[in-house]
Amino acid sequence: MVELDPHIRGDATHHRSLGEYAYQTIRQNILQGELPPDTRLREVELAALLDVSRVPVREALGRLAEEKLVELRPHGRGAVVATPAAEKVLEYYQARAALEQLSVRLAARSIESETIRNLEEIVERGTVAVEQQDWELSARYGSEFHKEIARASGNGHLYELICGYDLKIGWAHATVAKRGGPVRPAEHSAIVAALKAGDSEEAARLMAEHTNASARAFAASNAVADER
């Protein structure tokens, strides 16, 4: 049975229509890895989970199919979560890497002690999640780590762009971890240390290494999966 993360289920009253609510909720669950590739999406189940009729769900699935996030099966056989092309995901990683380097450079110039403490706490919790092999939670803390730095950059538009790419590749982080790929909280710790020292160039260098390593881990994990 399909399940949705309660943290990103949202509130229907915050959306302009039930169709928009269903679309945004299902979309975020897909992009954050809660609904992994090949998951069967049944209108009845989703409607019950979202407490809406099947009409908004059908509308949402149609929009997601246009975005290539969902594949509609012929002859009314429902829908499944699509498997994004590896090449497209690697493009997302490449674009995000450039944004992240700019973000950490800007953050290093005027980062506040409270933000440093927040980052250290996120890294600590992420490390515990890795030790407990809670890959879903680990991916969530990794996402929050990068968003915290983006917020500290002081550039709202840059923050929105990074959040957008984070959603596009969020499922990839969890997929790599679940397949036994490397999860590297120590790299986050090194970035925090550079930020704490106000060394923007070192922080940017470490961020570049970190984001490139994530892309390589995804590529390697995807290649292994294709061989099976």
56 Rama class: left (phi>0) / alpha (psi -120 to 50) / beta = alpha
Question: What is the rounded distance in angstroms from the CA atom of residue 85 to the CA atom of residue 77?
Answer: 23
- Average pLDDT of the residues in 95-118: 96
pLDDT at 6 over 80: no
Average pLDDT, rounded, for the chain: 86
- For 42-63, the pLDDT digits (tens) are 999 999 999 999 999 999 999 9
Strands (E), the chain: 40-41, 70-72, 79-81
- Cα–Cα nearest to 111, from 151, 160, 141: 151
Q: Residue 68: what pLDDT?
A: 83
Question: What is the rounded distance in angstroms from the CA atom of residue 11 to the CA atom of residue 109?
Answer: 37
pLDDT at 85 over 80: no
Q: What is the helix (H) or strand (E) element at residue 117, kind and residue range?
A: helix 113-131
In this prediction the pTM is 0.74
pLDDT at 208 over 50: yes
Question: What is the rounded distance in angstroms from the CA atom of residue 44 to the CA atom of residue 35?
Answer: 16
The C-alpha torsion from 122 through 124 and 127 to 128, rounded to 10°, is -110
Q: Residue 7: what pLDDT?
A: 46
- Cα–Cα nearest to 177, from 131, 223, 226, 138: 138
Question: Which percentage of the chain shows pLDDT scores above 90?
Answer: 54
Would you place residue 173 in the very low, low, confident or very high pLDDT band (cuts 50, 70, 90)? low
Strand partners, 41: 79
Q: Residue 96: what pLDDT?
A: 93
First to last CA, the chain: 26
Range with the poorest average pLDDT among 95-99, 107-111, 146-150, 171-175: 171-175
Question: Which percentage of the chain shows pLDDT scores above 70?
Answer: 84
- Average pLDDT of the residues in 129-154: 89
